[in-house]
């Protein structure tokens, strides 16, 4: 099941990539106005638009992280660079 994208996650992904709204809009085919409205919580993201944004962001090695509410584990949705090797070598202490 795919992580539901939020406005904060899209902004964070753009920040990781160093992209403006205009750049993400151009690369994804989503209008800059629609992207702006979504990021400001003025309108919801459609499944179609979410898919287009997810596709271009993930193609550029950014991974969306689902929220996790289990004890002793990372909590909260977010974004991170996707490891090219498939292993992040993260140790939780």
User: CATH: 1.10.10.60, 1.10.260.40, 2.40.50.100, 3.40.50.2300. Which one for 7-81?
Assistant: 1.10.260.40
Domain ranges for the chain: 7-81
User: CA–CA separation, 50 vs 10, rounded Å?
Assistant: 10
At 25-71, the pLDDT tens digits run 999 999 999 999 999 999 999 999 999 999 999 999 999 887 776 66
For the full predicted model, state whether its pTM sits above 0.75: yes
What values do phi and psi take at 6, rounded to 5? -115, 165
- Supply the DSSP string of 21-57, one letter for each residue: HHHHHHHHT--HHHHHHHHTTSSPPPHHHHHHHHHHH
């Amino acid at each position: 099941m795919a992580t539901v994208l939020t406005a904060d996650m899209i902004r964070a992904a753009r920040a990781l990539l160093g992209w403006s709204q205009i750049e993400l809009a151009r690369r994804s085919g989503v209008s800059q106005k629609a992207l702006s409205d979504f990021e400001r919580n003025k309108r919801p993201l459609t499944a179609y638009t979410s898919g287009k944004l997810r596709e271009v962001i993930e193609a550029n090695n950014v991974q969306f992280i689902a929220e996790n509410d289990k004890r002793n584990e990372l909590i909260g949705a977010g974004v991170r660079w996707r490891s090219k090797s498939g292993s992040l070598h993260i140790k939780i202490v």
